[in-house]
Structure 1
């Protein structure tokens, strides 16, 4: 299991345990983490799972990928260097303890 910590803009933390191989978006939706909608079901077609990867973790997750992910982030609010779509972050044992910060708003 991989632990993921989702932090709301207010500072409230939601820690969930998820199976390796699913996306950070799926883990959030399955555990009712508010602020991660995943309206498209993980197809990188809506940007309602926009997150900020904590600076200490961006080296392990990597930046947003060119193509579909970066294109969808253009529709998100307050995009930053560490912005990712949670549906494009596949959880692995190496990401145990991952910290993802949630934007104030999702579209």
Structure 2
């Protein structure tokens, strides 16, 4: 069953939008670095007034929980967290779920 991995990021006050976009590009690059693990990446800057201070976010789709587990320990992922996300974002919120069979469109 496909798994969705949602991450919300809260930019530090000194983090410019230009820097935030560069970090998001690095996150997007994980799809190319781990093509057999990550099925898709969708990301961007928040425009909602209900974001509770979260400024950016991304969603990744994985084939299954085993792929998500593999991603969690992949050196490429760990490097992006430590070298790119943590220096520029104060807080993160993760939300992972199994994609239900009645999702539309249905994911494999």
TM-score w.r.t. length of structure 1: 0.27
TM-score w.r.t. length of structure 2: 0.27
With a CA cutoff of 8 Å and minimum separation of 6, indicate the structure with the bigger relative contact order: 2
Task: Please identify which structure carries the higher strand content.
Answer: 2
Task: Please identify which structure carries the higher helix content.
Answer: 2
